[in-house]
Amino acid sequence: MFTQWKGKIILPTRTAQDEMLKEDVDLYKVQNVLEEGFDCSAGKRAENVFERCLETKRRILKAVAVDVGEHYLITHVGSFKASKKKIRKLRG
pLDDT tens, position by position, 27-83: 999 999 999 999 888 777 788 999 999 988 778 999 999 999 999 999 999 998 877
CATH number of this structure's domain 4-91, picked from the four choices 3.40.50, 3.30.2310, 3.40.1130, 3.30.70: 3.30.2310
Task: State whether the Cα torsion 71-75-80-82 is positive or negative.
Answer: negative
3-state secondary structure of 15: helix
Cβ–Cβ < 8 Å for 15, 22: no
Kindly state the helix (H) or strand (E) to which residue 67 belongs, with its residue range: strand 59-67
| In the chain, domain spans | 4-91
For residue 9, is pLDDT > 70? yes
For residue 92, is pLDDT > 70? no
For residue 90, is pLDDT > 90? no
Kindly state the helix (H) or strand (E) to which residue 4 belongs, with its residue range: strand 4-5
CA distance 37 to 35: 6
Which residues have a Cβ under 8 Å from the Cβ of 69 and sit 6 or more positions away?
A: none
